Amino acid sequence: MTAATDSGANAARRRGHRTHLAVLGGFVLLSVVLFLPADLHATGVLIGATTADNTQHAWFLRWLPYAIANHRNPLFTTSLIAPTGVNLMWNTWIPLPALLLSPLTVAVGPIAAFDVAVTLGVALSGWCMYLAASRFVQRTAAAVLAGAAYGFSPFMFDQSYTGHSNMVIAVVPPLLVLALDTILVRQNLSPRRAGLLLGALLSAQLYITEELLASEAVIALTAAVCLAVIGRYQLALRWRYAVRAFGWALALFIPLTAYPIWFQFFGPQVPGQVLSEKNFFVTDLLNIVLPSTAQGLEPSFAAAVASHYAGNSGEWGGYIGIPMLAVVAFTLWRQWRRPLVRVVGVTAAVALLLSLGSTLHVGGTDTHVPLPGAILEHLPILDNLLAARFALYVALGTALLFGIFIDTLPGDRRGVRVALLATVLVAATFVPPLPFPTRAAITPAYFTASPSPIRAGAAMLVVPFSRDFYATQAMLWQAQSGIAFSMPEGYIINRQPSGAAGQGPPPSVTSATLSHIAGGTADTHLTPALRREILAELHDWDVSAVVLGPMDAHGDVMRAFLADLLGSPPVDRDGVAVWASVPAP
């Protein structure tokens, strides 16, 4: 009898594993189909509507294998903003995904690695949500739909639209739900094992993106307080286990993350406040019910309203939609007695409030009505969180409530019809623009030639000069070259001379002049004084060569200016113009 029971349990586990793998395969296939334009041209097309943040993240993916191969500290780079360098812990770099994808990055290139990171990030996030939901619902279909509602949510599509791979690889939040449920509710593992699993999750999150680790702490604390209030009569029985488990979590988390955290706050080039403008990247109240650029069904009136939202379209991911709101409201009404529903509902509501920022924005207008998000603006570390990104936890909570709604429907024909109708309506409001927006990422052959014409480790000035959101080609070309050279530029958060944080290199005569020429707004007459200033800056940056790449406009004017500055015509080679030497100032 025992042997038969064991055999049946093993068979059930095998069926469960096969189901998990089938769901993972389905999510990956769906993600590939959605991002097909980029996935089919993975060496020259980036997922996303811009070539700024996705280019930056492609650079991050290439930096880590370069740093490891060349015995560099991966937390700090002088390849950008040379020679002072950048403390990468203050940036949205993704070291763990970069490490896992490094074979692909080195073999095929950072563009392909970025597209794979986004494609798999969406699929794996949905799959992890499916695994989490499987603990709380009985039906596999309900868990699958919960996973899909999270992984393929408007928030995920919005972050993919802007190329934020660090936000798209959101696998830890649903797994954190499982870990907290084990520690605070079920307590069916030893405190040591449960705590070590939690510590491993938190460590992994720091090495995926530190921003989510900070916001997860806020949301986890909210859920724990809510659970403590609901189950206050059981606190005396559970708190000792929880304390021991959290102790084990810290025992693993601290040694795994102590050095990067120390380096962030006490290492070189530590910037000051990162977010200079608070209450800017927020969820507009109307965005909750009106679709924006990341939804395929965006009526013209909704687009007109969205054009006035604060921030930019890359942070308009707070859309929930009327169908999902109706499902969530119905589930809260009918299932409110369930502690799980109360905790999820309250936590999602808090996340929604925090995503609105410190004051309420309606249709792009700041009403100055104070909101709880103002509290975070006065707390160290948390004051650098983007309020709009708390919408991730709204997506998680609503997805789980959607799964519970499907799970609690009757199994008769009527229940199936209701489940099908709700799924179709939610999916129709969630679907992104198709084909999904992409941008061509063209790299001159000069940067990818083999053997490389670039002297390894040389400092070069690459034009167009990379200094902000609108000029990132140089970073892409540097990543495509395998970080073969350094440059005094880059679209990246770094310390400015004042000590504050800035996106790009410190102000200079060179960057200002080259940027104005690129924009067609400068007098290109090169005076002796201007020549001396620019050549002195190039000398300070140890620049030994200048490379002019393709420009959208004013390329001929830039070429003539550089030839006058450097005192000789360039050599045209593999799609770029090269000045192999820089005269002394």
514-570 tens-digit pLDDT: 999 988 876 678 899 999 999 999 999 999 999 999 998 899 999 999 999 999 999
Alpha helices by DSSP H, listed for 413-554, are: 413-430, 473-480, 509-518, 528-540
Tokens of residue 139, six digits: 């039906």
Residue 367: other Cβ atoms inside 10 A: 12
Of 444, 304, 385, 297, the residue nearest 92 (C-alpha): 385
Alpha helices by DSSP H, listed for 35-109, are: 36-39, 53-69, 95-100, 102-108
pLDDT of res. 10 = 66
- Cα→Cα distances 291→144, 295, 393, Å: 24, 6, 18
* β-pair partners for 74: none
Tokens of residue 106, six digits: 């080195």
d(CA 542, CA 568): 19
pLDDT of res. 312 = 76
Segment (H or E) for 577: strand 576-579
Tokens of residue 182, six digits: 């084990």
Four-point Cα dihedral 42, 46, 48, 51, nearest 10: 180
Of 172, 166, 151, the residue nearest 57 (C-alpha): 166
Tokens of residue 173, six digits: 């939040």
d(CA 291, CA 434): 15
d(CA 573, CA 448): 12
d(CA 507, CA 526): 19
Sheet holding 576-579, edge to edge: 460-463, 545-548, 576-579, 571-573
Tokens of residue 145, six digits: 């739909």
For the entire predicted model, the pTM comes to 0.94
Segment (H or E) for 176: helix 172-181
Question: What does the pLDDT look like over 487-500, one tens digit per residue?
Answer: 999 999 999 888 88
Classify 360 as helix, strand or coil. strand
Task: List all residues 6 or more positions away from 172 whose beta carbon is below 8 Å from its beta carbon.
Answer: 128, 201, 202, 204, 205, 208, 212, 216
Segment (H or E) for 461: strand 460-463
d(CA 378, CA 359): 14
Low-confidence ranges of the chain (pLDDT < 70): 1-12, 233, 275-276, 522-523
Alpha helices by DSSP H, listed for 231-369, are: 235-266, 300-306, 322-335, 339-355
